[in-house]
Amino acid sequence: MIQRSSIRALLAPCLTTLLLAGCGSEPPPAAAAASDAGASLSVNLVTPQARPLQRRLTASGSIAAQEEILLGVELSGVRVAEVLVDIGERVKKDQVLLRLDTRSLRSEQRQAEAAVVEAETALAVARRNDARMVALRDKGLISARDADEMWGAATQAEARLNSARAQSEAVALRLSFAELRAPDDGVISRREVQPGQVVSSGAELLRLIRHGQLEWRGNLPEAELARIQEGTLVQVNGPAGGNPAMARVRRVAASLDTASRTGVVYATLSDPADLRAGMFAQGDLLLGESTALLLPLAAVVQRDGHSYVFGVGEEQRVTRRRIEIGRVEGDQIEILAGVGANDAVVARGAGFLSEGDRVRVVAEAKTP
C-alpha cells in the first residue's frame, strides 16, 4: 500500500508546475480593454477666437425719480373733503388731486363780497356829498374847511372800498387753494393724506414724479469715474428674471464722497420696464468694443484661487497652464494672458484633469 506521505511527494512537483504556468499566462482580452479605458480620458480641443467684445464697467446703484415734487396746500386748519388720486396713478398738468372743505371759506367770501358792496355804496354817497359841498363853496355859502372835510370823507370811503376789494380777492385766492392741482404731468409716488384729515400749510400730502421719469444712480470709485462721460450707455439689470433696461448718462457728479471716495453717475432710463423707484439695480456701463480672445467657460478651471486651462503635450499627456481671465459674454470668457490665438486647449471636462494625466484626443472642437 502506498503511504499518504509518498502521494504528497509525487504530486508536489506537478502542482508547482501548474502554478508557475498560471502566473505567466496573459490576462483575458476584456480585462485588458477595461484597464486601457480607465487610464485614458477622451477629450477634444479648442483654440481661442478673436472677437469684438463690449467693454463693460459694472457698478452697483439704485433706481430713483429724476425729479420728485412734494405737494401740499397753503391753508392751515382746513379739513380734507376728498382725495382724487392714489399711488401709481398718472396725472395731467392742472388735474385736481384733492379738495378741501370750503364751507368756512365760502362764508368768508360772502362776507367779503358784502363788505365790498357796502363800501361801494358809502363811496357813492360820499362823492355826491362832496359834489354838493363843492357847489356850495363856489357860491360862497360854506367855508373852504367844510368843503375840504367832505372831500376827505369821500377819499376815505374810496380807500375803504379798495381795502374791501383786496380782502375779497384774498378770500377768493384762499378759496382757490382749496383745490390741489398737479403742477405738471407725472406719476403719484406717495400719498400721506386721507379724507377728513385736518391739514396744515406746508405739510407734505402727495409726491409727484415729474413725467414719470426714473433714473439709475450708480456709485463708482474715483479712478473709474474719470472714464465715464455724458451720453454713455448703461444696461441696468433689475430683479432676477426681469428684462434689462437701457439708460444714458446725463450727469456725472462734480464731487466725491470724502469717506468712500466714490462719485455718483446719473443715467436717465428710456423705458423703466419692471424697474421701480427705490429698487437696487446693478448697471453695466458700455464703454465701446475691443478685440478679445475668447474660450468656452467650460475650458477654464478655477483652482487655488487661480484660473487654468489644460493643453495636450507629448505622449498625449496633459499640461496645465495658468491664465488671466477678463470679461464674460454668455458662455464665453475673455483670456487676457497665458494662452495664444493658436494654442489648443481641452474644450470641456477640464475639471476632471490633473497635470500629467494621459488622455486621448478625439477631435478638435469648433471654435467659439
Domains of the chain: 39-51+291-364 (2.40.420.20), 58-67+214-290 (2.40.30.170), 70-100+178-212 (2.40.50.100), 102-177 (1.10.287)
- Rank 210-214, 223-227, 308-312 by mean pLDDT and report only the highest: 210-214
pLDDT band of 3, cuts 50, 70, 90: very low
Give me the phi and psi of 223, to 5 degrees please: -65, -35
Query: Torsion-angle region of residue 307: left (phi > 0), alpha (psi -120 to 50) or beta?
Result: beta
How deeply is 145 buried, as exposed, middle or buried, from its count of CB atoms within 10 A (0-12, 13-18, 19+)?
Answer: exposed
Reply yes or no on whether the pLDDT at 41 is more than 50: yes
Helix (H, G, I), strand (E, B) or coil at 154: helix
pLDDT band of 323, cuts 50, 70, 90: confident
Spatial separation of the C-alpha atoms in residues 358 and 361, rounded to whole Å? 10
Q: Per-residue pLDDT tens for 52-108?
A: 777 788 899 999 999 999 999 999 999 999 999 999 999 999 999 999 999 988 888
How deeply is 252 buried, as exposed, middle or buried, from its count of CB atoms within 10 A (0-12, 13-18, 19+)?
Answer: middle
Higher pLDDT, 154 or 186: 186
Of the candidate ranges 105-119, 136-150, 276-290, the one whose mean pLDDT is the lowest: 136-150
Task: Answer for the pair 311, 85: CB distance below 8 angstroms, yes or no.
Answer: no
Reply yes or no on whether the pLDDT at 281 is more than 80: yes
